[in-house]
Structure 1
């Protein structure tokens, strides 16, 4: 239980400032919770094509607590040709009792219009108070439309990433929790992984998989 509490605290303190991440949907096994499993050794598997991204993701999670172990240490080129049963036996021999997988489900691009802002003299006057345009020449009136007074709108393309996180119990050999997150404004993969884990833990606390 002590190790479990340390794990929970470590995950909750992860920073999510690298992206805007939220839970889209989730499901939990009605008969068992993550807390009830009392995991002692969990394999972290990042299902991505790029090996560098795989290692960054797995290392980021593994660094949060010693309960997590990266999959590339156990499942790599040397085990690529093994059957699923043989790979599972490796994990059993290494005393793994849980697995966390992360998989990029889809990448969507959205284009949104960001309206401009107007702070022209007509509303504030030249002296900070409304005085209207009476008494001023065309030159002053025309100055209202200079870049100093008007910031034009623009179109902004945003890419959102849908990531599926699954938690398996090897003792029961079944999926016990799954959730999909949506991340936007991604600038750093490591911080995005932090944000996903933070969102996942928050959702598991809501659905009773973890104690509040």
Structure 2
């Protein structure tokens, strides 16, 4: 799966046209993960699209807080335009730990594909009685109820996303999932559905304990 520019991909999600559906394609949990779950999560979406980043991070924060897990957005530590080159990694990690975070959740768009499919037309038919060929009106009335809605081609936009959870102390990857969404209507509707799906999977896999 080729890696797509997250700025471009998140922008495409904003421009989608239909209701979103997010499904988990697979998830992995490290055998060395904390058996008690994580209680404070630092959330960061890896994109230069500020609107997309704010929306996704805030929705994840809100939902995690509702589940009894403290969560914080990355904006104070990783401001817009932040680059890792020339930055002291330990200084950044110390700031994250100073917030009380014991885990770091990252979100990134891996790929986007277009899938063209044919939507077949429909025919509605109301049969008429015998003898319709005999007169004009009978014949016309026979064919008039036959209505046909022609088929058409439509293109679905599929986005593939990855969410990773890292232990803040060791930096070790403890959980990862890949998900797919098709034709998201907007960043707002996508973000809420995506956040619900990811948090539910974190609970299911035992990474966070729901209060």
**Where does structure 2 lack aligned partners over 5 or more consecutive residues?**
1-17
CA distance in 1, matches of 2:188, 2:110: 18
Residues 57-87 of structure 1, C-alpha deviation per residue, up to 9 Å, x if partnerless?
Answer: 1122223327111101211159645232221
The CA deviation at 1:36 is 1.7
SS of match in other structure, 1:57: helix
SS of match in other structure, 1:76: coil
The CA deviation at 1:198 is 2.4
Alpha carbons of structure 1 residues 50 and 31: separation in structure 2 relative to 1, 3 Å:
same
Counterparts of 1:108-119 in structure 2 under 5 Å?
108-119=113-124
Of 69, 72, 86, the residue aligned with 1:69 is 72
Counterparts of 1:177-188 in structure 2 under 5 Å?
177-188=175-186
TM-score, structure 2 normalization: 0.75
CA distance in 2, matches of 1:48, 1:160: 18
Counterparts of 1:83-98 in structure 2 under 5 Å?
83-98=88-103
SS of match in other structure, 1:190: helix
CA distance in 2, matches of 1:87, 1:63: 23
What does residue 140 of structure 2 align with? Answer: 139
CA distance in 1, matches of 2:81, 2:141: 75
What does residue 56 of structure 1 align with? Answer: 55
What does residue 12 of structure 2 align with? Answer: none
For the Cα contact (< 8 Å) 1:18–1:195, is it kept in 2? no
CA distance in 2, matches of 1:171, 1:206: 23
SS of match in other structure, 1:95: coil
For these two proteins, the number of residue pairs brought into alignment is: 183
CA distance in 2, matches of 1:83, 1:155: 52
What does residue 31 of structure 1 align with? Answer: 32
**Aligned residues: CA RMSD:** 2.6
What does residue 13 of structure 1 align with? Answer: none
**Where does structure 1 lack aligned partners over 5 or more consecutive residues?**
1-16, 126-130
Counterparts of 1:157-196 in structure 2 under 5 Å?
157-196=155-194
CA distance in 1, matches of 2:90, 2:208: 30
The CA deviation at 1:208 is 4.8
CA distance in 2, matches of 1:97, 1:209: 11
TM-score, structure 1 normalization: 0.74
CA distance in 1, matches of 2:150, 2:175: 46
SS of match in other structure, 1:171: coil
